[in-house]
Amino acid sequence: MNTTTTSTTRITQALPSAHRIRLLRIAREVNIPQGTRLFEEGTRADRFWIVRTGTVTLDMHVPGRRSPVIETIGFDELVGWSWLFPPYVWQLGAEATTSVRAYEFDATAVRLMCEHDPQLGSAVGQWVGKVLAHRLQSARTRLLDLYAPYGSGSAL
Amino acid sequence: MTTELSVVAPPAPAVRHAEPRLPVPYRVIARWPETPDTVTLRLDPVAEALADFVPGQFAMVHCFGRGEIPVSVSSIPTTGGLAHTVRGVGAVSEGLCAARVGDVLGLRGPYGTGWELERALGQDVVVVAGGIGLAPLRPLIRDAVAEPRRHGRVNVLIGARTPDDLLSKYETRRWATAYTGVTVDRPADGWSGEVGLVTRLLDRARFDPPRSWAFVCGPEPMIRATARDLVHRGVSGDRVRVSLERNMRCATATCGHCQLGPVLLCRDGPVVGWDRAEPWLSVREL
């Protein structure tokens, strides 16, 4: 019986076990105190994380205002994808809203592994692509302003 | 809002009104705001009562002098008294929202199909509500958590636009479920919960897809996104029960306003299996 997750974008579901094991070998287990900023928009994307416990929020800088939270990320989910694509710069900010235990990965090391092993590179690219597609689809659906009085759009 | 469960009206005699198109007078015996634009009205028959509602069914609720609209039951007499939750978005619904304790409204019903939670006996249950869609699901959730041994793990996933738009905030916390998740699109200051589309909560829910039943209510784009996601995860389409909404007028399968493809939703819905609903919702003209 599946007691944990039905997600298809988590590393445990999306990556073949051999590739997952190779990646996890270079992971560092970290404890991130509540309130820690993991990264800031516009800075160099040199790491990424997979959350084991706790919650991370993604936010966007709005000049003169408190950064609004765009999305929350939890158990077994990927935090950060900008490390995979040039110019390797974070597009959003991230903060631990609870204390977080996570696997932290050195982005340069992972990119080098991917370059040396095209199969691993393809698997990692597909995994991150899946995560991106899922988040893009969610963001697009949210753009509909679903819960407005009449939903989005005009009646036929 | 905290009086929601403490005010329990005595069960009224179940006498079906002889003329189904005439509204039966019901008195507002309790009223509480759920959100700035949404109100729940608890109703008691002035004289004779309508037949018993089951979760998922709806009534045509009549605001005298304004008209009537279809509203699903948000509470039934066996688990908290008959109640309807109304969002003020038009002349009739705003009139209903303005009703005070003691006012008399008209009710016709019960109409349509129910959620049929009994089908999920011994199975995991996933309830997904978007916005005011939680109201029709509330009696189903109450039934599911009241008898936990009848089902596997019960999951309740709730999405809303902002924290202020969440219904049943106090009751939600009390539901003894395997997982209750609440997410909003636009968090306010001080919101420490989830932010994102309600389907993201499916990642956190605890259920075994082939052994699960899902019950989904909310705006149709959200229903589509959720049902597709559930099917993608392995829940059979016929086990995804969705509540659809169309322009219901007569509620007696006569006028045809609520036609969706080959069915009339006032009679054959509002609750239908996703395996039936998906082809209809894929047709652009419907």
Give the 3-state secondary structure of residue A56: strand
Q: Is B21 exposed, middle or buried (0-12, 13-18, 19+ CB in 10 A)?
A: exposed
CATH of the domain at B101: 2.40.30.10
Please indicate, yes or no, whether residues B103 and B127 belong to a single structural domain of this protein.
no
Question: What CATH number has the domain bearing residue B216?
Answer: 3.40.50.80
| pLDDT tens, residue order, chain B (286 aa) | 334 444 444 444 455 555 667 899 999 999 999 999 999 999 999 998 899 999 999 999 999 999 999 999 999 987 778 999 999 988 999 999 999 999 999 999 899 999 999 999 999 999 999 999 999 999 999 999 998 889 999 999 999 999 999 988 878 888 888 999 999 998 888 888 899 999 989 988 999 999 999 999 998 888 988 999 999 999 999 999 999 877 778 888 788 887 888 888 888 889 999 999 888 877 776 6
Residue B76 forms part of a structural domain: yes
**pLDDT at residue B244 in the model:** 87
Residue B96 domain-assigned (yes or no): yes
- Strand duo B212-217 + B124-130: pairing: parallel
For residue B232, the SS3 value is: helix
Q: Are residues B88 and B186 in the same domain?
A: no
Residues B141 and B72 in one domain: no
Decide which of B111, B127, B142 is a domain's last residue. B111
Q: Does A154 touch chain B (CB under 8 A)?
A: no
Q: Is B224 part of any domain?
A: yes
pLDDT in tens, B78-107: 777 899 999 998 899 999 999 999 999 999
Specify if B3 maps to a domain.
Answer: no
Nearest Cα to A75, choosing from A102, A35, A106? A102
CB atoms within 10 A of CB B146: 12
Q: Do B206 and A4 touch (CB under 8 A)?
A: yes
Which of B200, B260, B280, B286 is best to mutate for the A interface (most A CBs within 10 A)? B200
> Of A86, A95, A82, A81, which is closest to residue A39 (Cα–Cα)?
A95
One domain, residues B127 and B60: no
- Percentages helix, strand, coil for chain B, rounded to the nearest 5? 30, 30, 40
Q: Let me know if residue B251 belongs to a domain.
A: no
Domain boundary among B92, B111, B130: B111
Domains identified in chain B, total number: 2
Do residues B179 and B124 touch, judged by C-beta distance below 8 A? no
Q: Which of B161, B195, B209 sits opposite A72 (nearest CB)?
A: B195
- Whether the CB-CB separation of B51 and B36 falls below 8 Å is answered with no
Q: Are residues B54 and B122 in the same domain?
A: no
Q: How many CA atoms lie within 13 A of A8 on its CB side?
A: 15
The CATH class of the A12-140 domain is mainly beta
Q: Kindly list the domain boundaries of chain A, sorted by start residue.
A: 12-140
Residue B259 within a domain: no
CA distances (Å), origin B89, targets A151, B32, B69, B97: 11, 17, 11, 10
ipTM over 0.85: no
Q: What does the alpha-carbon distance between residue B81 and residue A55 come to, in Å, rounded to a whole number?
A: 38
Helices A107-116 and A17-25 pack at an angle, to 10 degrees, of 140
Evaluate whether B203 touches A10 at the Cβ level (below 8 Å).
yes
* Closest residue in B to A143 (Cα–Cα): B185
Tell me: do B142 and B226 sit in the same domain.
Answer: yes
From chain B, pick out residues whose CB is under 8 angstroms from the CB of A97. Answer: 192
Residue among B127, B132, B101 nearest B245 (CA): B132
Is A53 within 8 Å of chain B by CB?
Answer: no
Q: What is the model's pLDDT at position A146?
A: 74
Question: What's the domain range around B177?
Answer: 117-243
Q: pLDDT tens per residue, chain A (156 residues)?
A: 444 556 767 777 788 889 899 999 999 999 999 999 999 999 999 999 999 999 999 999 988 888 889 999 998 899 999 999 999 999 999 999 999 999 999 999 999 999 999 999 999 999 999 999 989 988 888 887 777 655 555 555
B95 and B203 share one domain: no
Tokens 């416990």 correspond to: A53
> Rounded distance, CA A13 to CA B147, Å?
33
Q: CB A71 to CB B189 under 8 A?
A: no
Could you tell me if B238 and B140 lie in one domain? yes
Q: Is A151 within 8 Å of B183 when comparing Cβ atoms?
A: no
- The verdict on a CB contact (< 8 Å) between A97 and B225 is no
Q: Is A67 on the interface with B (CB under 8 A)?
A: no
Q: Is residue B102 part of a domain?
A: yes
Question: How many residue contacts between A and B have a Cβ separation below 8 Å?
Answer: 97
How far away is chain A from the Cα of B159, in angstroms, using its nearest Cα?
9
Strand B83-87, strand B67-75: pairing: antiparallel
A57–B196 C-beta distance less than 8 A: no
Q: In this structure, what are the phi and psi dihedrals at residue B59, rounded to the nearest 5 degrees?
A: -120, 155
Residues B102 and B121 grouped into a single domain: no
The residue from B96, B111, B126 where one domain ends is B111
Q: Looking at the structure, do residues B123 and B107 belong to the same domain, yes or no?
A: no
Summary mean pLDDT of chain B? 87
Q: Looking at the structure, do residues B50 and B151 belong to the same domain, yes or no?
A: no
Distance CA A57, CA A72 (A): 4
Does residue B209 lie in a domain region? yes
- Do B257 and B248 touch, CB atoms closer than 8 A? yes
Distance CA B58, CA B73 (A): 6
Find the CB nearest B285 among A70, A148, A156.
A156
Tell whether B35 and B139 lie within a shared domain: no
